[in-house]
Amino acid sequence: MADKTHTITTRNWLNLNPEIKHFDPFEGLASGLESDAELRSVRYGFRVAGQNILIDKAIICEILPNPYIYPLPNLPGWVHGMLNIRGNLIPVINLGQLLLQAEEEYVTAKKPLLVIDRGENAMAIFLDHLPVSLDFDESNVEESPVDEKASHLIREHTRVAYQIEGYTWHEIDHKALFKMITRGFNGFVDDEEMTEEKTST
């Protein structure tokens, strides 16, 4: 790995207006940044079950403060149902429960919902908190080994990891992760089958 340094400063958690259904990764940040170059260095990260996750900065995401989730029958407990966003049906997954496995329950009540990507790649997941903005100084980039304490789902789908103020953030391949979780949505695997798959890996 190239020996590069990276200075990354975390900003305060976003204070999003509950009426706002969509956020632009750069909107409203110019006043707090010194230059266009610094503005382009902003990344958003979020936590699920205490694990730090980054998504490719080109991917569009939406925060939904209190959406109606349409329940679906005969599906495992980590599938909460579907959202209807502008006529598009988006699956809602309790990713936190999958990351925790059976160790404890990941309670989703009052947690923000994040819709990641568009079209057939879109999926909604519950977050621990609202996303946090991270300042990446591109002249000082330091990659990090994958955190061995992270869930195997995160480890196996990490493209690159960064060390940020003592914490490891994993930039994941969300498409591969979602495909593995749902198996194309033609039929969800049940919790027992998921457990057997984890054991085999």
CATH of the domain at 28: 2.40.50.180
Q: Where are the alpha helices (DSSP H) in 1-87?
A: 36-40
Q: What is the pLDDT of residues 79-94, one digit of tens each?
A: 999 999 988 899 999 9
Q: Is residue 157 in some structural domain?
A: yes
- pLDDT score, position 43: 84
The DSSP bridge pattern shows strands 132-136 and 42-48 to be antiparallel
Residues of the domain holding 173: 8-200
Q: What is the pLDDT of residues 18-43, one digit of tens each?
A: 443 444 443 443 444 444 545 557 78
Q: What is the pLDDT of residues 9-20, one digit of tens each?
A: 333 333 333 443
Q: Is residue 132 in some structural domain?
A: yes
Q: Which two tokens stand for residue 116?
A: 């990641």
Q: Is residue 152 in some structural domain?
A: yes
- pLDDT score, position 86: 87
Q: Which residue has the higher pLDDT, 133 or 115?
A: 115
Res 1 pLDDT > 50: no
- pLDDT score, position 186: 45
- pLDDT score, position 138: 62
- pLDDT score, position 38: 52
Q: What does the alpha-carbon distance between residue 80 and residue 95 come to, in Å, rounded to a whole number?
A: 10
pTM (predicted TM-score): 0.71
Q: Is residue 1 in some structural domain?
A: no
| Biggest alpha carbon–alpha carbon distance for the chain | 52
* Number of other CB atoms surrounding residue 65 within 10 Å: 14
Q: Which two tokens stand for residue 112?
A: 């923000």
Q: Where are the alpha helices (DSSP H) in the chain?
A: 36-40, 95-100, 152-156, 174-182, 191-200
Among candidate residues 67, 58, 57, 54, the one with its CA nearest the CA of residue 18? 67
- Angle (CA) 186-175-93 rounded to 5° is 60
Q: Is residue 2 in some structural domain?
A: no
How many domains in the chain?
Answer: 1
Among candidate residues 168, 149, 154, the one with its CA nearest the CA of residue 125? 154
Q: Is residue 196 in some structural domain?
A: yes
- pLDDT score, position 20: 39
Residues 6+ apart with CB under 8 A from 111: 126, 127, 128
pLDDT level of residue 131 (50, 70, 90 thresholds): very high
* Number of other CB atoms surrounding residue 186 within 10 Å: 6
Residues 6+ apart with CB under 8 A from 183: 189
